[in-house]
Amino acid sequence: MMSSSEVKLGEYLNGSPKIAYFSMEIGINERIPTYSGGLGVLAGDTLKSCADLNIPIVGVTLLSENGYFYQKIDEHGQQIELPYKFNVDDFLKPLPTTVTVNIEGRDVIVRIWYFTVKGINGYIVPVFFLDTNVEGNDEWDRSLTKYLYGGDNKYRLAQEIILGVGGVRAIHELGYQNIDKYHMNEGHAAFGTLELFKKFKSIDAVRQQCVFTTHTPVAAGHDQFDLNLARSMIGDLLPEEILQDITFDNRLNMTRLALLFSNYVNGVAKKHGEVSRLMFPGYEINTITNGVNTQRWVSDPFHRLFDARMPCWQSDPFVLRSAFGIDKQEIWNAHMEAKRTLIDFVNNRYNIGMNYDYFTMGFARRQTPYKRPDLLISDPERLRHISETVGPIQIIYAGKAHPKDYAGKDIIKKIISAKNNIGGNIKIVYIHNYDITIGKMLTAGVDLWVNTPRRPMEASGTSGMKSAHNGVPQFSTLDGWWIEGRIENITGWAIGSRKSNEKQSDDDADRKDLYDKLENVIIPKFYNDRDNWIRTMRSCIAINASFFNTNRMMQQYVLNAYFI
């Protein structure tokens, strides 16, 4: 079989892509560390599903040659951030084409690397990685594509110029003449609209060509820059006549820029669409709920089981709905195989002696206060009581905190300390350097996937969709996709209030409900009513995996966003 890197340049340049998809991070391959979390993994899943569906698209992102960061955690729970060591030319091919972008009055050379994603029928989707670490650029400019979300505001602004302006120029320079839509995955690439505006000279003409997906449910989360800084960095590419539409409090707001220039805008779950409409009144904001790439997230044992019981599940994940017909024992056997793989990994790496048969919960995501990673262990006494009276408990954590998120780092310390002091028959482990490989093992190998965001802060969330693909039910606050995906006792369980209009999550009420349900519903069902437990597992696949996948998601983008 030909490896993707051997595909010749001409094979995709001869094609005629219609969509250019821009994302600050793309997690396209578990060995390419140019992503930090959900946004990048979604971008990777999106492009993989495009390749499977023969959707004529190209991806554009930054090289981020030192990744986000490699995470170590010392014995006190202190996160240590190291540059990712990544041999770019083992995975990506350089192109002879370069473009330049103007930053602060300097011409900065941008080199382009590419990677090819091969779909299930051999269809090729190229992904371009922009790189300024090029001879001829000055030292600071050479550093701009090293660290994803690194540096200060000015560094970030420069990165967004490279992604947006450099990205659009790269697409044109590479000879793609038939791009109908420029799709911005989050506002980071919105400066690309300015390049298009320079070319087409009308807001309307640009709007015809732009699609914008917003991922941020809180006002403070939207990317914004001091207007004077933006002016000095972008120069005359920033037209005075649109400033009032895109600035707020003398700050240039990237979401407003993207909104102004896009005639299709969407949030990433129904609730998130609602929240976005309230945040940006006057814009039509649609909803396409996220998904995950089915093949990528199904573990090997389920892969074999699905092959045997539901042929065509890979090319058509809707077929997964017939999982209802699979024998329960087969589901359980596949799960236990995935679980043993995870437990073996954890025991081997951390020497903790976790047990294959004990009830195991997983929590892995960016560590930041709104996700309340420590809610699950916030009452150790209660947890010990449950584990002693109902059945033993194991908990597996993973996740990075952004280097400047000091509250997030404190949460890691808290978890490490709880891990060392919890006692009883509870075992807790924290896997360092959460990435796609660990994510895949974890979402498939635990018995229950736990998620505790404060509502409505989680735009969608996707890891629970990965667990659903492996028959692992989710236990989560009703936020993001879970509002759509949860059927109580059938696909998992809700934590806390179900009132959809509640302003703010109540930590105490959520904690109580979390422990009550673990004690009275979930863990007893796991230990004492295995047959019904497996029924729940099976309906996660049939009801949720068959829908919350990026094949369905991309079909909605094509129908609603691209060909409108």
Ligand X SMILES: *Cc1c(COP(=O)(O)O)cnc(C)c1O
Judged by the rule CB under 6 A, the positions of this chain that interact with ligand X are: 37-38, 41, 365, 434-436, 439, 461-463, 466
Nearest-angstrom CA–CA distance, 557 and 180: 13
Q: What is the distance between the alpha carbons of residues 62 and 23, in angstroms, rounded to a whole number?
A: 8
Which is closer to ligand X, CB of 432 or CB of 466?
466
Residue 11 one-letter amino acid: E
User: C-alpha angle with apex 446: 442 to 452, nearest 5 degrees?
Assistant: 85
Distance in Å, CB of 29 to ligand X, minimum? 13
Rounded Cα gap, residues 34 and 84, in angstroms = 9
Q: Which is nearer to ligand X, 442 or 543 (CB)?
A: 442
| Spatial distance between the Cα atoms of 457 and 404, rounded to a whole number of angstroms | 19
Given a contact cutoff of 8 angstroms between Cβ atoms, the answer to whether 12 and 4 are in contact is: no
Q: In which residue are the tokens 């995501």 written?
A: 365
| CA atoms of 73 and 80, how far apart (whole Å) | 6
Count of other CB atoms within 10 angstroms of residue 219: 12
For residue 197, which amino acid is it?
Answer: F
What stretch of H or E contains 381?
Answer: helix 380-389
Instruction: Indicate left, alpha or beta for 250 from its phi (over 0: left) and psi (-120 to 50: alpha).
Output: left
**Whose Cβ is closer to ligand X: residue 332's or residue 548's?**
548
Nearest approach in angstroms of CB 71 to ligand X is 11
How far is residue 396's CA from residue 394's CA, in Å, rounded to a whole number? 7
Tell me how far, at minimum, the Cβ of 296 lies from ligand X, in Å: 9
The residue among 387 and 467 lying less far from ligand X, judged by its C-beta, is 467
Q: Is the CB of 23 or the CB of 387 nearer to ligand X?
A: 23
Helix 436-445 × helix 38-52 angle, to 10°: 90
Task: Quote the least distance from Cβ 534 to ligand X, whole Å.
Answer: 24
Task: Select 181 or 466, whichever has its Cβ closest to ligand X.
Answer: 466
**How far is 220 from 2, CA to CA, in rounded Å?**
46
CB of 173 to ligand X, least distance (A): 32
Using the minimum distance from each CB to ligand X, give the nearer residue, 162 or 398: 398
Q: Give min distance, CB of 315 to ligand X, in A.
A: 23
Kindly state the smallest distance separating residue 198's Cβ from ligand X, in Å.
Answer: 36
CA dist 178 and 9 (Å) reads 18
Please return the burial class of 90, using the count of CB atoms within 10 Å of its CB with bins 0-12, 13-18 and 19+.
Answer: exposed
CA distance 188 to 180: 20
158 phi/psi in degrees, rounded to 5? -60, -40
Choose between 38 and 492: whose C-beta lies nearer to ligand X.
Answer: 38
Nearer to ligand X, 365 or 402 (CB): 365
CB of 107 to ligand X, least distance (A): 36
Task: Please list the helix, strand and coil fractions of the chain in percent, rounded to the nearest 5, in that order.
Answer: 45, 20, 35
Q: How far is the CB of 219 from ligand X (least distance, A)?
A: 20
Residue closer to ligand X, measured from CB, 387 or 462? 462
- Asked if residues 314 and 294 have their Cβ atoms less than 8 Å apart, the reply is yes
Question: Considering the complex, what minimum distance in angstroms separates the CB of residue 441 from ligand X?
Answer: 10
